[in-house]
């Protein structure tokens, strides 16, 4: 892990200005102290760390596709795809390979470098996995990075995905352990950590983050970041989702989170996980351009790109292209461009 600068920030607590411990262990109090920094100091520090590890004008574009929508047996309180909530999402069968490949080709043509396939499963059955393996092989052959989010994985399943060419597996911790039971009761935190261990063990890169704006406290937001930052190693990719409130789900109607607190969460993720891709994920459509611009300043360098997330809306492709151009940001190169040194 590279060293981090020790900044002198007048009037801030000592713990907030200390460099990260060499073993990257982040006590939750130190993370709270980052959240508590004056906004400009926090963003300055995040931007400085961001620049040490990344081209500050580069953003990764990842396109999502729901390959199996709705009818999920789990009770995640935020999720429109849980069968038990009346959200208007109808259960569908797994998409045919051709449909997935068509979406992947379009994503690539629009400039995406990563293609993420999501399924509303508690866990994949072995026969489902065969179909996903085929999708991964074919999407990878198009020259895209591949990512899948299929729920919990059992023994041997991560290895099968790795053999098919999967680059990333997305499995979120979602929130702090102490808030978790308020949101999900059908699987526990340890189940998630076990799946992440299987993904890591198979040599697949870990994409793991959470959702903010679910009624958690700042301490609990810090608790989520502590769980992520203290993984050894921490995830290569960290999606920070802003809750998209969907009518029919138990979390619909909550007071929305202050947008600047969302920006702080991005900055804290950047500082505590300097080399991770911090992904500005769900909720961008509701955020507006100014808040997104602050998120990029705070160190976000990946977005979901395409007019749909899984079941809810995302900014239109043209809107995103205009925003990136306005901010002077450019898309991460495709694998071919990178190979040509373009």
**Active site (catalytic) residues:** 72, 76, 79, 116, 147, 207, 279
User: What is the contact surface with ligand SAM in residues (CB under 6 A)?
Assistant: 78-79, 118, 120-121, 149, 151, 171-172, 174, 211, 241, 243-244, 246, 282, 310
- x-or-dash pattern for ligand DTB, window 273-312, by CB under 6 A? --------xx--------------------------xxxx
Q: Could you say which of ligand SAM, ligand DTB, ligand SF4, none residue 311 binds, taking C-beta under 5 to 8 angstroms by partner kind?
A: ligand DTB
DSSP 3-state assignment of 187? coil
Radius of gyration of the chain (CA): 19
Distances (CA, A) of 191 to 149, 154, 299: 15, 10, 30
Residue 174 touches which of ligand SAM, ligand SF4, ligand DTB, none (CB < 5 to 8 A by kind)? ligand SAM
How far apart are CB 312 and ligand SAM at their closest, in Å? Answer: 6
Using CB under 6 A as the binding rule, the residues of this chain from 56 to 85 that contact ligand DTB are 64, 80
Asked if residues 68 and 121 have their Cβ atoms less than 8 Å apart, the reply is: yes
Alpha helices in the chain (DSSP H): 14-17, 28-35, 39-53, 97-109, 126-141, 157-164, 177-180, 189-201, 218-229, 259-272, 284-297, 317-327, 335-339
- Distance of closest approach, residue 238 Cβ to ligand SF4, in angstroms: 17
Closest distance to ligand SF4 from the beta carbon of 79 (Å): 3
Binding partner selected for residue 303 from ligand SF4, ligand DTB, ligand SAM, none, CB under the kind-specific 5 to 8 Å limit: none
| Sign of the alpha-carbon dihedral angle for 311, 237, 163, 194 | negative
Residues that bind ligand SF4 (CB under 6 A): 72, 74, 76, 79, 81-82, 120, 122, 151
Residue 33 makes contact with ligand DTB by CB under 6 A: no
Half-sphere exposure of 172 (CA within 13 A, CB side): 20
Q: Mapping DSSP to helix (H, G, I), strand (E, B) and coil, where does residue 42 land?
A: helix
Residue 194 is encoded by which pair of tokens? Answer: 């076990």
160's tokens? 């099968």
Contacts of 314 (CB under 8 A, 6+ apart): 64, 284, 285, 304, 305, 306, 307, 308
Contact residue for ligand DTB among 146, 220, 241, 249 (CB under 6 A)? 241
Number of residues that bind ligand DTB (CB under 6 A): 17
Touching ligand DTB, residues 129-188 (CB under 6 A):
149, 170, 172
Per partner kind, with CB cut-offs from 5 to 8 A, the member of ligand SAM, ligand DTB, ligand SF4, none near residue 171 is ligand SAM
Residue environment code for 124-162, b if the CB has 16+ CB neighbours within 10 A, otherwise e: beeebbebbbebbebbbeeebbbbbbbbbbeeebbebbb
Distance, in Å, from the CA atom of 79 to the CA atom of 116, rounded to the nearest integer, reads 18
> What, of ligand SF4, ligand SAM, ligand DTB, none, does residue 243 touch, CB below 5 to 8 Å by kind?
ligand SAM
Q: Residues in the site for ligand DTB, rule: CB under 6 A?
A: 64, 80, 116, 118, 149, 170, 172, 209, 239, 241, 244, 281-282, 309-312
């Amino acid at each position: 892990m590279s060293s981090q600068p020790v900044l002198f920030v007048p009037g801030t607590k000592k713990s907030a200005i200390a460099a990260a411990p060499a073993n990257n262990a982040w006590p939750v109090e130190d993370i709270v102290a980052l959240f508590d920094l004056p906004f400009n100091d926090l963003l300055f520090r995040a931007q400085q760390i961001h620049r040490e590890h990344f081209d500050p004008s580069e953003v990764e574009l990842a396109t999502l596709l729901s390959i199996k929508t709705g009818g999920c047996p789990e009770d995640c309180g935020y999720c429109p795809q849980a069968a038990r909530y009346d959200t208007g999402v109808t259960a569908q069968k797994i998409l045919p390979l051709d449909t997935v490949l068509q979406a992947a080709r379009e994503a690539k043509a629009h400039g995406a470098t990563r293609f993420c396939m999501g399924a509303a499963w508690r866990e994949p059955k072995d026969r489902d996995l065969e179909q996903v393996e085929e999708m991964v092989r074919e999407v990878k052959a198009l020259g895209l990075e591949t990512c899948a989010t299929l729920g919990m994985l059992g023994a041997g399943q991560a290895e099968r995905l790795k053999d098919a060419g999967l680059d990333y597996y997305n499995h979120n911790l979602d929130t702090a352990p102490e808030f978790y039971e308020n949101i999900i009761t059908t699987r526990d935190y340890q189940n998630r950590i076990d799946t992440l261990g299987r993904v890591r063990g198979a040599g697949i890169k870990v994409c793991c983050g959470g959702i903010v704006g679910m009624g958690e406290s700042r301490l609990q937001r810090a608790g989520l970041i502590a769980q992520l930052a203290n993984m050894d190693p921490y995830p290569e990719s960290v999606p920070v989702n802003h809750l998209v409130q969907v009518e029919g789900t138990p979390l619909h109607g909550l007071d929305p989170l202050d947008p600047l607190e969302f920006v702080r969460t991005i900055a804290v993720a950047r500082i505590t996980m300097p080399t991770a891709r911090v992904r500005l994920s769900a909720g961008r459509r509701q955020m507006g351009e100014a808040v997104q611009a602050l998120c990029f300043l705070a160190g976000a360098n990946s977005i979901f790109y395409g007019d749909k997330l899984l079941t809810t809306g995302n900014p239109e492709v043209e809107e995103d292209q205009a925003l990136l151009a306005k901010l002077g940001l450019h898309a991460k190169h495709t694998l071919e461009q990178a190979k040509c040194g373009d």
